Amino acid sequence: MRGARALAFLAGVVYAFLLLPIVVVVLAALNAGDYLTFPPQGFSLRWFVHFAQDEAFTHAFVFSLELAALATAFATVLGTLAALYVARHARRAADALRVLFVAPLQFPAILTGVALLIFFYALHTKAQGTLSLVVGHTIICIPYVFLAVSVVLAGFDRSLEEAARGLGASPFATFRRVTLPIIGAGVASGAAFAFINSFGEFPVSLMLAGVGATPLPIELFDYLRFDFDPTAAAVGTVNIAMATVVVLVTERIVGLEVLYRGRR
């Protein structure tokens, strides 16, 4: 009994430690004062209005959405294909390939950004811009999809595919109607993590951002160099809201998919 209470208390402390920074940011965004302070000096939505009316911030916000969408799309396709190949075709090289595909998670993101910057310069291409950012964000997002899909494939029953092929289904039809619905939960989860990570990515964006291609975290970083008002907290609150919406939508989609499979 005491052990259960101690465990519950420890879990509460951990949750409080994780949620406290979020609460502070949200309350700071609602601050009616002119400076980024805590506790807030009254409550107001003025800084959210200031964020919405600031052309640089709105442009960076839209650009981050587009960048995250592109990076997520590419990472989802590449990460899923990589997971399928490693799980089914790679034999002796499977372990080495797993390490390779999750390598961006094992090294500091700033090193990945510097390496990409040097790589693009070596190719004599534009090292800083939209294309470079899409490539960079795709690379750092692939591991999330790869790991999520790999977990689902670990318990995959290959006899279902064999039965479909035995009934005359083509390889593409088998993948579309059998494989993809089963691994769909992993694909959706990996895509959600990829989108959230790309939208808030800072180190790689810092190295590869260029004129007219500035994601929201970099725009916020530049803003804080000269201004220190609650607009920064408002931007942080928007990021928190974005991540929350993505997680809730993904959970809803995955939940419906699991429910559908259970009824079958």
Q: How far apart are CA 147 and CA 83, in angstroms?
A: 8
Which residue's entry shows tokens 């059998």?
178
Q: Is 257's pLDDT higher than 60?
A: no
Radius of gyration, alpha carbons of the chain: 22
Give the three-state DSSP class for 244.
Answer: helix
Q: Is the model more confident about 69 or about 210?
A: 69
pLDDT digits (tens, 9 = 90+) for 83-104: 988 888 877 788 888 888 888 8
Q: Is 262's pLDDT higher than 60?
A: no
Q: Is 261's pLDDT higher than 60?
A: no
CA 35 to the chain's CA centroid: 31
Q: Is 251's pLDDT higher than 60?
A: yes
Portion of the chain with pLDDT greater than 90, in percent: 22
- Mean local confidence (pLDDT), 10-34: 85
pLDDT digits (tens, 9 = 90+) for 114-131: 999 998 888 877 777 889
pLDDT digits (tens, 9 = 90+) for 56-70: 889 999 999 999 999
Q: Is 161's pLDDT higher than 80?
A: no
Task: Provide the pLDDT for residue 92.
Answer: 79
Q: How far apart are CA 78 and CA 139, in angstroms?
A: 10
Task: Provide the pLDDT for residue 141.
Answer: 94
- Mean local confidence (pLDDT), 41-45: 82
Q: How far apart are CA 79 and CA 68, in angstroms?
A: 15
Mean pLDDT of the chain: 84
Which residue's entry shows tokens 């609650």?
230
Task: Provide the pLDDT for residue 1.
Answer: 67
Using pLDDT thresholds of 50, 70 and 90, give the confidence band for residue 263. very low
Q: For the chain, which domains are there? A: 55-263 (1.10.3720.10)
Portion of the chain with pLDDT greater than 70, in percent: 95
Using pLDDT thresholds of 50, 70 and 90, give the confidence band for residue 232. confident
Q: Is 110's pLDDT higher than 60?
A: yes
Using pLDDT thresholds of 50, 70 and 90, give the confidence band for residue 255. low
b/e per residue 77-87 (b: at least 16 CB within 10 A): ebbbebbbebb
